[in-house]
Amino acid sequence: MDEVRRKMLTKFPSLIPKNGDCTEYDGYIQILDEEYRINITLPKDGTLRDTKLTCEWKLEQVLKKYDKIVKQRLIQCENLPAFLDELKSIAEKQLSFQEQNHPSYSKTNCAQLISELEKIGWEHVISVDADFQSFQIMYVDVKERKHVMRIKLHLQHPKQAPTVTVDLPTKFDVVWTSTSSLLDVYNQFIHNVDLYQDLWNNLNELDNKTWILEPDNPTYAATNRRIAISASASVQITVDPKHPSSLPEIKFLGSNQATGPLRENMTSNLHLWNENESLLSNLSTVLGVTFPSPSDTKKEDFSADCGICYSYRLGTEIPEEVCNDSRCGQPFHQTCLIEWLRGLPSYRQSFHTIFGECPYCGTPITVKMSVNSM
């Protein structure tokens, strides 16, 4: 038996070679008072450079921040026993540091947290940090939407409530007592997610069947949508998350010529709003329009660039000011248009409104200044 195999047998007896040439080991390595499952596959050339190391998730979390060092030692160590000695040393130092700096997280507490996560189900646990202070847990709703809850434990856990971050349209207040567990928080999260199924169903229909100009990538917390109607008009809605079937807050964007008929239709048709119908169906009925669909139109047809700066986005601003002449209909950023009009010899302002001419066609145009523009 060569020297390397002898050292492996004497120093790491729980790592068993899986083949005759000892290029793969599987088993356990003891670190402090606990054993961790690992698997090591060695390249046939005898070097450690391309060694494949996998380990159970608890050890993986301990070594997470030392990933570069572990890879470097794989290259520089002369043999496998020497590398495993260094791997043990790194893990022992990290575990000792955790115990010294987080005395409240004893092995008993860690075991308790593991038990709580097991009750939630490992299939729902996305990640656990090496200090056992932060967790990411996922819930998949009835429509296969994935919702992630991020939990950071208080140093006085479980006496103090954890900090919980979620992507929900309203504030998520955790109900916590000294006897509460992570499972209790998870169940509260599920309950809150289920409250907003109607909201997300309605918004998803809008996202799939219309052109959403804003926001680009809506989160579950977003209750607003700016929907394209034509090249010169769009409608922005803000939905009540607790009453998604009721009439939303509606704002029209675009030229007066394009948005005027929409306002008239809404005034005439408000009585037709039916809370048993979907949000998309009600908007189409009340506004008297058929929204352009991604199935037969392109988004570029409704998100024209600013006629002054030739870009669509200016910071967080998009082109919302539109020339009233239907033959022109050129959109502009409010900031760009204000600067343009202020530079004209005929510049005129009355209170918060600036009067001038369209930079493209010369048609009279007005723009109301926001507080930030004044």
pLDDT tens digits along 20-74: 888 899 999 999 888 999 999 998 877 788 889 999 888 888 888 788 888 888 8
Helix (H, G, I), strand (E, B) or coil at 124: helix
Does the structure show a pLDDT above 80 at 371? no
Q: Which of 95-99, 109-113, 168-172, 214-218 has the highest mean pLDDT?
A: 168-172
- Which pLDDT tens digit goes with each residue over 52-61? 999 988 888 8
Q: Do 293 and 356 belong to one domain?
A: no
Beta carbons of 359 and 332 less than 8 angstroms apart:
yes
Q: Where are the beta strands (DSSP E) in the chain?
A: 15-17, 24-31, 34-41, 52-55, 125-128, 134-140, 146-152, 163-165, 212-214, 224-230, 233-238, 249-254, 321-322, 331-332, 348-350, 353-357, 364-368
Q: Which of 301, 329, 347 is the last residue of a domain?
A: 301
Q: Do 219 and 296 belong to one domain?
A: yes
Q: Do 215 and 289 belong to one domain?
A: yes
Inside any domain, residue 21: yes
- What's the pLDDT at 107? 60
| CA–CA distance, 256 with 99 (Å, rounded to integer) | 67
- Give me the number of domains the chain comprises: 4
CATH number for the domain harbouring residue 148: 3.10.110.10
- Which pLDDT tens digit goes with each residue over 284-301? 999 999 999 998 888 877
Beta carbons of 237 and 283 less than 8 angstroms apart:
yes
CATH number for the domain harbouring residue 203: 3.10.110.20
Q: Do 290 and 332 belong to one domain?
A: no
Residues 154, 157, 160, 166: is their CA dihedral positive or negative? positive
Q: Do 154 and 219 belong to one domain?
A: no
Give the range of the structural domain holding residue 339, as residue numbers without chain letter: 321-373
Inside any domain, residue 308: no
Q: Do 88 and 135 belong to one domain?
A: no
CATH number for the domain harbouring residue 361: 3.30.40.10
Inside any domain, residue 314: no
Q: Do 250 and 327 belong to one domain?
A: no
Does the structure show a pLDDT above 70 at 106? no
Q: Do 159 and 242 belong to one domain?
A: no
Does the structure show a pLDDT above 80 at 264? yes
- What's the pLDDT at 5? 85
Beta carbons of 148 and 138 less than 8 angstroms apart:
yes
Q: Which of 51, 72, 101 is the last residue of a domain?
A: 101
Q: Do 90 and 115 belong to one domain?
A: no
Q: Do 119 and 32 belong to one domain?
A: no
